[in-house]
Amino acid sequence: MNKTIAFFDSGIGGIPYLIHLRNIKSDFNYVYLADNANFPYGIKTGETIKEIVLSAIGRFIEKTSPDVIVIACNTATVVTLPYLREKYNIPFVGVVPAVKPAASISENKRIGLFATNKTVSDSYTDNLISQFAGNCEVYKYADPNIVSFIENKMFESDNKEIMDFLLPAANYFIEKDVDHVVLGCTHFLFIHDTLENLFPQKIKIIDSREGVSRQVLRIISDTDTCARFSLRRRCAVSIEDTAKQTAWDSDTGSKINDSAFYLTSSSVNNDYYKKIAERFMIKYSGII
Ligand code: DGL
């Protein structure tokens, strides 16, 4: 029986994490839940986030019976992970800002954290920084308008519009003279390439996809793939190209995986979500 791996986010932000793992391991079943009814999480209180995440995850488990759930949302992880683990008897993998690797490779010991308002202000993040980046200056930046733009408009916008949205954030990190920027909101993985173009070469962007995929494989005890994966380097292709590669078997040319994409609410935006799911080779499968 194939293992089922579930990914959860307030919206589309967790898709790059699903694609990254599907690229390594195409024979798992992949299911995805976007809690669009409650998007955005980043400007809500901890109490509210806890309540909505616990409820959505309960329905997601009932519907899909996953073997592992990836909370592919930094905000939800930072606020709810211990509560999820206490309530549901299932392995959870959280997504937290990759501050630790950034601090260890930063040369000038100045790093940027680009995340949601909740993630940059939460005590969890303060602890993460003091534990793993105590020797660095960490500059945090949040802008809920960018998160909403990515969720609702980016895929129908041109490059100029996307750059205009990102310019203040890019300038902030450039002015602070950081040499690494951590993408601490999963939505920002979609703007990785645009951000990279706005940065001078010395600023490198870091995210947590690799660590998260490795952790899922460890939990599933797929030690073989895990070992092979350690030898791979992340290829410099776009998320979309990777999605296309992974949804088709290169030998037979046939579709190898019907990943399923769910929403928590039907809205005027449903067609937009359907199009995005399709773009990333995930089959829109309804409301949970
Ligand atoms: N994608 C989510 C994260 O990683 C947050 C987006 C939101 O504000 O809902 O934090």
Q: How confident is the model over 59-90, as pLDDT tens digits?
A: 999 999 999 999 999 999 999 999 999 999 99
pLDDT average, residue stretch 196-213: 96
Q: How confident is the model at residue 270 (pLDDT cuts 50, 70, 90)?
A: confident
pLDDT average, residue stretch 178-203: 97
Q: Per-residue pLDDT for 25 more than 50?
A: yes
Nearest to 288 by CA among 14, 64, 41: 64
Q: Per-residue pLDDT for 176 more than 50?
A: yes
pLDDT average, residue stretch 162-183: 97
Q: Per-residue pLDDT for 240 more than 90?
A: no
Predicted pLDDT at 267: 78
Catalytic amino acids? 73, 185
Pairing of strands 137-142, 110-115: parallel
> In the chain, which ranges are continuous DSSP H helix?
15-24, 46-64, 74-87, 99-105, 117-121, 123-132, 144-152, 159-175, 192-198, 209-219, 223-231, 239-247, 270-279
Q: How confident is the model at residue 235 (pLDDT cuts 50, 70, 90)?
A: very low
Instruction: 280-284: list long-range contacts, CB under 8 Å, 24+ apart.
Output: 280/15, 280/18, 280/19, 280/239, 280/240, 280/243, 281/243, 281/244, 281/246, 281/247, 281/257, 282/15, 282/18, 282/30, 282/32, 283/258, 283/259
| CA 227 to ligand 1 centroid distance, Å | 31
Task: Compute the distance between CA of residue 76 and CA of residue 54 in angstroms, rounded to an integer.
Answer: 10
Predicted pLDDT at 229: 56
Which two structure tokens, joined as six digits, stand for 25? 């391991």
Residue 26 DSSP label? T
Q: Per-residue pLDDT for 20 more than 70?
A: yes
Q: Is the CB of 75 under 6 A from ligand 1?
A: yes
pLDDT average, residue stretch 241-263: 65
pLDDT average, residue stretch 189-204: 96
Predicted pLDDT at 221: 85
Predicted pLDDT at 255: 52
Q: How confident is the model at residue 234 (pLDDT cuts 50, 70, 90)?
A: very low
Q: What percent of the chain has pLDDT over 70?
A: 88
Q: Is the CB of 119 under 6 A from ligand 1?
A: yes
Query: Which residue's entry shows tokens 């041109």?
Result: 158
Count the neighbouring beta carbons within 10 Å of the beta carbon of residue 270: 14
Predicted pLDDT at 242: 67
pLDDT average, residue stretch 51-62: 98
pLDDT average, residue stretch 43-72: 98
Q: Per-residue pLDDT for 116 more than 50?
A: yes
Pocket test for ligand 1, best of 7, 8, 10, 125 (most atoms within 8 A of CB): 10
Q: Is the CB of 42 under 6 A from ligand 1?
A: yes
- Give me the helix-helix angle, 144-152 and 159-175, nearest 10°: 150
Q: How confident is the model at residue 182 (pLDDT cuts 50, 70, 90)?
A: very high
pLDDT average, residue stretch 218-228: 74
Q: Which atom of ligand 1 is nearest to the CA of 185?
A: 4
Count the neighbouring beta carbons within 10 Å of the beta carbon of residue 30: 28
The answer to which of 48-57, 61-70, 274-283 has the lowest mean pLDDT is 274-283
pLDDT average, residue stretch 136-156: 96
| CA 3 to ligand 1 centroid distance, Å | 26
pLDDT average, residue stretch 269-283: 92
* Kind and range of the H or E run holding 111: strand 110-115
Count the neighbouring beta carbons within 10 Å of the beta carbon of residue 167: 12
Q: Is the CB of 41 under 6 A from ligand 1?
A: yes
| CA 9 to ligand 1 centroid distance, Å | 7
Does the pTM of the predicted model rise above 0.95?
Answer: no
Predicted pLDDT at 245: 61
Are residues 185 and 13 in contact, defined by beta-carbon separation less than 8 angstroms? yes
pLDDT average, residue stretch 165-176: 97
Predicted pLDDT at 258: 73
Task: Compute the distance between CA of residue 11 and CA of residue 16 in angstroms, rounded to an integer.
Answer: 12
Task: Compute the distance between CA of residue 103 and CA of residue 135 in angstroms, rounded to an integer.
Answer: 8
Predicted pLDDT at 77: 98
Residues near 119 by Cβ (< 8 Å), separated by ≥ 6? 42, 74, 75, 78, 97, 125, 142, 184, 185
Task: Compute the distance between CA of residue 267 and CA of residue 43 in angstroms, rounded to an integer.
Answer: 21
CA distances from 91 to 15, 81, 236, 278 (A): 19, 11, 30, 28
